[in-house]
Chain A
Amino acid sequence: MGIIWNLDSMLGWIVMAVNFGSVILYGAMGEILTEKAGHLNLGVPGIMLCGGISGFAATFLYEQNTANPSGFVMLLLGLLSSIVAATLAGLIYAFLTITLKANQNVTGITLTTFGAGIAKHFGSVISAKSGSTAIRSALADEVFNAKIPFLSTNLGVVGKLLFNYGFLVYLAIILAILLQLFFNKTHQGLNLRAIGENPGTADAMGINVTGYKYAAILTGSAISGLGGFLYLVINNVQWSTALDIEGMGWLAVALVIFATWKPVNAIWGGYLFGFLSKAGAYAPTFITGIVISQHIWNMTPYIVTILVLIFVSFRMKRESRPPQALGLSYFREDR
């Protein structure tokens, strides 16, 4: 067994890791926001799929049916349609689990099934209509994958490493920092965390529990939905039913734990998960003499997450643990 150093391959691997890691990061940020309100949403993969197909359908159909599609309209369409679809999917979950006090696990899993059905159905219908299995929106690819001019090309390795991404990747970092500030530095963030820990006490303090829960879940869904769309963007806005947005969604659920419910940790955690999920393709160029299956690499994020979960429960540190009321529906008369 030996290790060879290959700069180009490493650069490619890192760029892939950051791109895919950002998809997972969007999913995880949405889920963190949701879990802080005390709701474990296992529907995140479904929400990401809805966001992905909606953003794709809007950009693809706009490009197909317009003589001179404009880049700006494309930008708005892609973002808005994925946000709207993801929010609607989140609304189903929110209504059932908040207003109707339904079981969160059952509702979330059903939402993932439903979302996967919606995305794959409409994806294959659009593909069949266009007579090809590999359909893409070239303009959306251009708009969303526009790199930072000058910096990405003229700074050598640094440029390739730091400035070589579409804007959604940078937006994810900004959002994560804002989210962390929201939780720790704002009044509303504190209220939300109080609800996740103990909705009864929060209610007694005069906090509008239902309102906060709806706001957190819907906003969280919108953010997760952007992750679904970003997955398409990094695949050059090309749809095929083999897209593994669902797998990314489950990694997002894992990342929430790995990051111990802190959005800023999820940034590097997401990149690490992205790095590991692409190891099957890149690691063989570095390690010789021994073949480690891609499937073994794919396992690693989940194993690491379990270790973190165990570690967190050993170390009874309050701020690293899941919100106390996670998974429980709140009924005022029960308190």
Chain B
Amino acid sequence: MRAMAQSKANKEPLVHVVRKEDTTTLKKWMLRVIAVAAALLVTGAFVFAVTGINPFNIYGAMVTGTFGTPRRIRNTIKTLTPLLCLGVGLAPAFKMKFWNIGAQGQMLVGALAASFVALTFRNLPGGVLIPLMGLGAILAGALWAVLPAIFKAFWNTNETLFTLMMNYIATFWVMYSVDVWKGESSGFASFKQIAKNAVMPVIAKENFYICTGIVLIVAALMYIYMKRTKHGYELAVVGESEKTARYAGINVKKVTIRTMVLSGAICGLCGFLTVSGIDFTLSHTMNNGFGFTAIVVAWLAKFNPFTMIGTSFMMVFFQNAASEISSMNANATEYLSNVISGIILFFLIGVEFFINYRLVFRKNGKEGK
């Protein structure tokens, strides 16, 4: 009996997982490309199975959905702008391993504050009103994020759950405010009608280019902040290990709160950009739940603001693809976009394992030691 148990215990498992640190950048990206290719195969097969559309037409539709016409390219940039902004906002928090799931809520209160300022001071000239809206949004977003941060810093309250709950309070608050502000009318009117001065000026026929510019500047500044400043270094150390940070004399509480103020402020800024330059109105469904998508965008980019341009583009690309496919056939619906991005993301999430770990197979004929 004992001998049997022992031989069982000594037998090495068939596969053994080892952490690897030495994956080269080239190899990492090759693995990710393979993952996307595999995901595209699965997506094609899935869409073909449920709609009967030829997979090659599906891939074709993916490209035309984003690049088909100049207008589509413009729309892609327009959709990408808020998503990138939220991703950049999340970057420092995630780098600190503070799981801010509350970007959605921080964006919504930002939009709410910007709308409040716009409606209250609608007669101010645009040059004063618009910065004022931005300021209101930044403060609101920061406030929404600092609450969970304070409780995390002082009482170690679980930040994932706290920020998640804050999203729903923000959502219902926006629904409530829209109800109040729209009064008897069926929907909340466009700022283009009720508060003209609150609308971003037009550049090259579009209002949103200024927003895109602002987001790119914020992304660049964030890159510098995270890579080149003392603050950025401190938050990275806290993310690696709180114990090390304390040992090195870093005030963990202060860094946590400061970083979350910044994170929430940028997410709030996104709300302002959306109401002033993209949607021109307030709605709890604004930006399509991007507060959640941005979590994935930031994580896939390994919290690098520049890589996020690529990852957020990818998310928008697949969303466009699905809306293109949904017009091809009665069996295809707009909801396929969620399914398609889901499949692609599952593969991209899964491939990280093969980047960070190596599988070691048991050698034949060499069981036990």
Residues on A lying within 8 angstroms of B by beta carbon are 40, 42, 92, 96, 99-103, 105-107, 109-118, 120-122, 124-125, 128, 250, 253-254, 257, 293, 295-296, 298-299, 302-303, 305-306, 309-310, 313-314, 322, 326-327, 331-334
B175 touches A295 (CB 8 A): yes
| Chain A residues positioned under 8 Å from B162 (CB to CB) | 306, 309
Given A111-B342, A113-B342, A310-B155, is A42 in contact with B101 using a C-beta cutoff of 8 Å? yes
A96 touches B349 (CB 8 A): yes
Residues on B lying within 8 angstroms of A by beta carbon are 17-19, 50, 99, 101, 151, 155-158, 160-162, 164-166, 168-169, 172-173, 175-176, 179-180, 289, 292-293, 295-296, 299, 330-331, 333, 335-343, 345-346, 349-350, 352-353, 356-357
| Chain A residues positioned under 8 Å from B292 (CB to CB) | 109, 112-113
CB within 8 A of B295: which of A92, A96, A105, A299? Answer: A105
| Chain B residues positioned under 8 Å from A334 (CB to CB) | 19
B156 touches A313 (CB 8 A): yes
B164 touches A110 (CB 8 A): no
Given A107-B349, A114-B339, is A313 in contact with B169 using a C-beta cutoff of 8 Å? no
B172 touches A102 (CB 8 A): no
A102-B353, A122-B50, A298-B172 known; 14 other A-B pairs, CB under 8 Å?
A: A42-B101, A96-B349, A96-B350, A106-B296, A110-B341, A110-B349, A116-B338, A117-B335, A296-B172, A299-B173, A302-B166, A310-B151, A313-B151, A313-B158
B339 touches A118 (CB 8 A): yes
| Chain B residues positioned under 8 Å from A326 (CB to CB) | 158
| Chain B residues positioned under 8 Å from A105 (CB to CB) | 99, 101, 160, 295
A257 to B346, CA, bound (A): 27
| Chain B residues positioned under 8 Å from A114 (CB to CB) | 338-339, 341-343, 345-346
| Least CB distance, B295 to chain A, in whole angstroms | 6
Given A106-B296, A250-B168, is A322 in contact with B158 using a C-beta cutoff of 8 Å? yes
Selected A-B contacts with CB under 8 Å, 12 pairs: A42-B101, A105-B99, A112-B292, A113-B289, A113-B293, A121-B335, A124-B335, A250-B164, A250-B168, A295-B176, A309-B165, A322-B161
Closest residue of chain B to A305 (Cβ to Cβ) is: B165
CB within 8 A of A293: which of B169, B179, B336? Answer: B179
Closest residue of chain B to A312 (Cβ to Cβ) is: B157
Given A96-B346, A111-B342, is A101 in contact with B357 using a C-beta cutoff of 8 Å? yes
A327 touches B99 (CB 8 A): yes
Closest residue of chain B to A102 (Cβ to Cβ) is: B349
Closest residue of chain A to B338 (Cβ to Cβ) is: A117
A42 to B165, CA, bound (A): 12
| Chain A residues positioned under 8 Å from B99 (CB to CB) | 105, 327
CB within 8 A of B333: which of A92, A107, A124, A305? Answer: A124
| Chain A residues positioned under 8 Å from B353 (CB to CB) | 99-102
B342 touches A106 (CB 8 A): no
A327 touches B349 (CB 8 A): no
| Least CB distance, A199 to chain B, in whole angstroms | 15
Closest residue of chain B to A114 (Cβ to Cβ) is: B342
| Least CB distance, B115 to chain A, in whole angstroms | 16
CB within 8 A of A333: which of B18, B293, B295, B350? Answer: B18
CB within 8 A of A110: which of B18, B169, B346? Answer: B346
| Least CB distance, A87 to chain B, in whole angstroms | 17
B349 touches A103 (CB 8 A): yes
| Chain A residues positioned under 8 Å from B50 (CB to CB) | 121-122, 125
| Chain B residues positioned under 8 Å from A298 (CB to CB) | 168, 172, 175
Closest residue of chain A to B99 (Cβ to Cβ) is: A105
A310 touches B165 (CB 8 A): no
CB within 8 A of A253: which of B155, B164, B349? Answer: B164
B173 touches A295 (CB 8 A): yes
B161 touches A302 (CB 8 A): no
| Chain B residues positioned under 8 Å from A128 (CB to CB) | 330
Closest 8 CB pairs of A and B: A117-B338, A114-B342, A117-B339, A100-B353, A295-B176, A120-B335, A121-B335, A313-B157
A231 to B352, CA, bound (A): 36
A255 to B368, CA, bound (A): 48
A298 to B216, CA, bound (A): 37
| Chain A residues positioned under 8 Å from B338 (CB to CB) | 113-114, 116-118, 120-121
Given A128-B330, A296-B172, is A117 in contact with B337 using a C-beta cutoff of 8 Å? yes
A134 to B180, CA, bound (A): 31
| Chain B residues positioned under 8 Å from A253 (CB to CB) | 161, 164
A296 to B173, CA, bound (A): 7
